[in-house]
Every structure is written in structure tokens, then in C-alpha cells.
Structure 1
Amino acid sequence: MKLYDFELHAECYAARLMLSLLGVPHEVETVDVYPEAAHLTPAFRAINPLGRVPVLEDGALRFGTVQGILAYLAAAYDTSGQWAPDTAVLRGEVAGWMAIAAELAATAGQARLIETMFAQGDAEAARAGAEGLLRVIDQHLWFGEVEGRDWLCSAPHPTIADIACFPHLVLSEDGGISRQDYPAIRRWIDRVKRLPGFTVMSGVFATSSAL
């Protein structure tokens, strides 16, 4: 198995995190997204015509979106039975949260790219969009805690929805989005960090007792 990866890319981190949580052996091929824009070269577009990372190759199979990578890994390599949705309700919930993860990428993720990698775009508009999402997510998690639920979906364990959303939320401050007003998100981040197999990246540290 090979992961085409860029260390600082939030969605690449989601793929690396899922591989680590599942304990799946793999090799990594670095794609210099910034500053070289290697993902836009003809050589890389032959691998992924979308010109995006991450890309996962498993034998003859190739997945060029983080949503596809997470869904495939959970279905093919999860021996615990917890990561892939196994009921109609969970499938619907996970699909909804994967869509929200994509919105986080377009807002919090975009603000981070503008601030740290000089991407083009309106950072203030991206932050405003992200703040609206964080308010909704924090409220959802807070009510979940009241009901005894620790994760984004109704299952008593994390799913790929948590992994899809996690990088954009844990890295949000790189885009100028404070998590100070979102205590339920901060507690959820700490819970993700405590999962067996959790792995860090640049700007994401191991858990501490502080919330």
C-alpha cells in the first residue's frame, strides 16, 4: 500500500491518522504541494487527474479523495467493526458528516491555506464560514455529551466521520480561528487524541490534561 502524501495537508493527515489507528502497514511518497506545486504536474495528474492529495494505492486499487480513502480503509481493514458504518442510520449520519468535513475544508481549511501557504482567497470570508460551522458542531457535541454520546455520530464509538472532521478542527487556529469559545469541540479533540494508535503531525500535539 502506498500513500501519496504532503505532511502539512489536513486531508493527508486524515488519511495518515486512519492508517495509524487501524495499524495498516504502508509506504509514503511525498508530493511537494507547497511550494513546488508538484500535485499539479502532468506526472502527478497521471496518478490523480484531480491534481489533489492524498492518493492511496492498494495493489491495483487507487483512491484519489480523502472520503474514498477513509471509507475504503474502514471497510477493508477494520478488524474491530467500529469505524465503518454498519446500519442504515449510521450510514446516513456518516454521509452527512463527511459533507460537513468538506465544508470545513472549504472554510477553516481554506483560511489555513491562505494564512500559512499564501493560497489565493478571502481569508475573512473563509473564517466567517468556519465560525458558523464550529458553532453548530460545538452545540451538537455539547448536547451529545448531555445525552452520554462522545462522538459526532450516534454510535458509542468513533467513526470515519470523526477522522474526516478532526484535522480541519484541530488545525483551525492556523487559519486564525480560535477554539476558545467552543469547549465541546476542545473536549472532543482531546478524546480523539486519546484513541489507541493516534498519531501527531506538525502543529498537532499529543493530548494533555488541559481542555
Structure 2
Amino acid sequence: MSIKDKIKENKALKRLTIWLLMPRNQARPRLWVRLLLNPFKHKRGKHTTICRSVRNDLLPFRNFSIGSNSTVEDYATLNNGVGDVYIGNNTRIGIGSVIIGPVTVGNDVRFAQNVVCSGLNHGYQDVTTPIWKQPVTTSEIIIGDETWIGSNSVVVAGVTIGKHSVIAAGSVVTRSIPDYCVAGGNPAKIIKQYNPATQTWEKPIQVAL
């Protein structure tokens, strides 16, 4: 049995390990983790900038990588506590945006300001237990290459947004969006989709019920 498996099976050892990695009731890892462990575990491409004010809630027992020529702007949050986070090349994560894994962001993607992508949900079914104490569920978010997500948008767990799509500002994306679409609203709906046959962006056909 590996050391990792032993820690998972022993509750006391698991609590001690988590305490060593981060303070009680906190998501941000301790300084020694950020300085001595994460640089060897996590990968950062060339010419990539993660601004100093970014909250890096990144732990060594999950994966994090960001490609080349990418930027994470000020006051954003990166969190891989319950799921891996992958960010591609030539991608910009806008001011104040939040990424909570599991999330995969492709290449040449743009997040505007205050975009939230969270692959995490809290359980709530047990009414005798506070929600924050209940087990979490995760479902990966995938953001395709060349996609633009407008400011103040929310992408919920399990959603895939296709390649070269646009999400209008203030949208709540609760269902997957195909490639080459413009979508918006709460919940987000497809407004236009590229038709390769006509080489134009067309409104979806409304089907009468």
C-alpha cells in the first residue's frame, strides 16, 4: 500500500496531513507548500504571468498547469483543492475571475472580468447537517479553444463550452454549448451558431411544440 493510500484510510493521519498543508478552515496552502512543494508539482509555461495579487489556492496533491504566453490577472482565484485545473497556451483569465477545479481551459481563451467557473457543488440533502459539512460533488468543466466568456458570467459544474464560442456578459451557463456558438442569458441559450455551409452566423431554428 502506498503512503498516499495509507493517509487516505487513516482519518487521524489524513487530518494531520491536511493541517500541515493548510491552516484549519482555510483553502490557501501554507507558505512552505507554496514555496517548496508546488513549484515541483505544478507546471507553468514560458512567458506566462500570474499576477502577485492572484489567490493561489493550489495544493500539491492535485494537478495544476498553465501553458505558455498566458496571463492570470489581478485578484483572480485558482483552486485545485477538489479537482485538477489545466489552463492552455495564449489564454487570459480576467480580473477577479474564479476557477475551482476540476476545470480545463483550452488555448487562446479569454475570460473577461469576474467570471466564475466552478466544478464543485456542496451536498445539501441531509437537513440535520450544515451544508458546508456535507460531502462535495465534482463534475469537470471544459472550455474549448478560442472561446470568449463575458464579464460576470457563471459556468456551472459539468458544462462543456465548445470551440470558438462566445458567452455574453452576465450569463449563467447551466448546459453545454456546442462549437461556434454565441450564447447568453440565465440560463444561457444559443443566440447564433456558425453554419459552415453558408459561412454565416445564423439564429437557431425555433421548433414549434
- The interval holding the TM-score normalised by the smaller chain is under 0.3
Flag the structure with more relative contact order, 1 or 2, with Cα contacts below 8 A and sequence separation at least 6: 1
What is the TM-score when the length of structure 1 is the normalising length?
Answer: 0.27
Rg comparison, structure with higher value: 2
Given the two structures, how large is their TM-score scaled by the length of structure 2?
A: 0.27
Higher helix share: 1
Higher strand proportion: 2
